[in-house]
Amino acid sequence: MLELRLVQGSLLKKVLESIKDLVNDANFDCSSSGFSLQAMDSSHVALVALLLRSEGFEHYRCDRNMSMGMNLGNMSKMLRCAGNDDIITIKADDGSDTVTFMFESPTQDKISDFEMKLMDIDSEHLGIPEAEYQSIVTMPSAEFARICKDLSGIGDTVVISVTKEGVKFSTRGDIGTANIVCRQNTTVDKPEEATVINMSEPVSLTFALRYMNSFTKATTLSNTVTISLSSELPVVVEYKIAEMGYIRFYLAPKIEE
């Protein structure tokens, strides 16, 4: 038996909106520690890892570990029926081939339940080793989204380079080139507006902008984004989910020319 009650249901709505176009089907894993997901896109270039810790739920019951295969497009269709202020409860019985999403309006005057069919998904769980990243950039998530969107109008790939000077996002296309440099800036009014660069070694990697743009759909989950880079490793683009966990996108680099 599984029953997870999330008062801030909008978080789950936002999570789905941010991953449904990247991943078609995924297994949600439920254990006593939390509700999680790991899935790759169909071309195995990007991987998403989601964690919503059990402590973040108002009520969390998971009698035994469960893996529930869901079509994210269908799950998103159902979650879109929840109001932004609604409380969302996820329920499933052991061995059941369905999951139920229950939505309660804040005033309890509207209660809906949606039952969705589960599916068998043969997904391979990858081991993600702990890594010391050469450069870690934290910046406003909206700024990162703006840069990815702007550059994708000019080129298909972005070179992200971190040096003592700052982080540089560069692209090149038929119409020309673009370079955007963000310097470390910690003298801001609000901490979430800061750009912080922790660099142990300079690093420069090339990535497909199409994927970066897809990751920025998670911008609504967090005011800041953390980009962790090391040569010879996928970049990690992480959005923290307030007091609950995170959504991390891993993207394999392009091979340098």
Give the closest residue to 36 by CA, choosing from 13, 12, 58. 12
With CB under 8 A as the contact rule, the residue among 124, 130, 174, 189 that binds another protein is 124
Among the listed ranges 57-65, 110-118, 123-131, 137-145, the one in contact with another protein (CB under 8 A) is 123-131
Q: Considering the complex, what minimum distance in angstroms separates the CB of residue 35 from another protein?
A: 18
Report d(CA 191, CA 214) in Å as an integer.
25
CB 206 → another protein: shortest distance, Å?
Answer: 6
CA dist., res. 255 & res. 257, Å (int): 6
String marking each residue 28-67 x if it binds another protein according to CB under 8 A? ------------x--xxxxx--------------------
Q: Which of 81, 126, 188, 242 binds another protein (CB under 8 A)?
A: 126
Q: Could you say which residues in the range 226-255 bind another protein, by CB under 8 A?
A: 232-234, 250-255
Structure tokens at 4: 């997870």
Joined tokens for residue 41:
């896109």
Among 71, 157, 216, 228, binds another protein (CB under 8 A): 157
**Is 206 an interacting residue with respect to another protein (CB under 8 A)?**
yes
CB closer to another protein out of 22 and 182 = 22
Whether the CB-CB separation of 169 and 147 falls below 8 Å is answered with yes
In whole angstroms, the minimum distance from the beta carbon of 67 to another protein comes to 13
How deeply is 42 buried, as exposed, middle or buried, from its count of CB atoms within 10 A (0-12, 13-18, 19+)?
Answer: exposed
Give dist(CA 137, CA 166) in Å, integer.
9
Site for another protein (CB under 8 A): how many residues?
Answer: 26
Q: Evaluate the CA torsion angle 75, 81, 82, 84 in order and state its sign.
A: positive
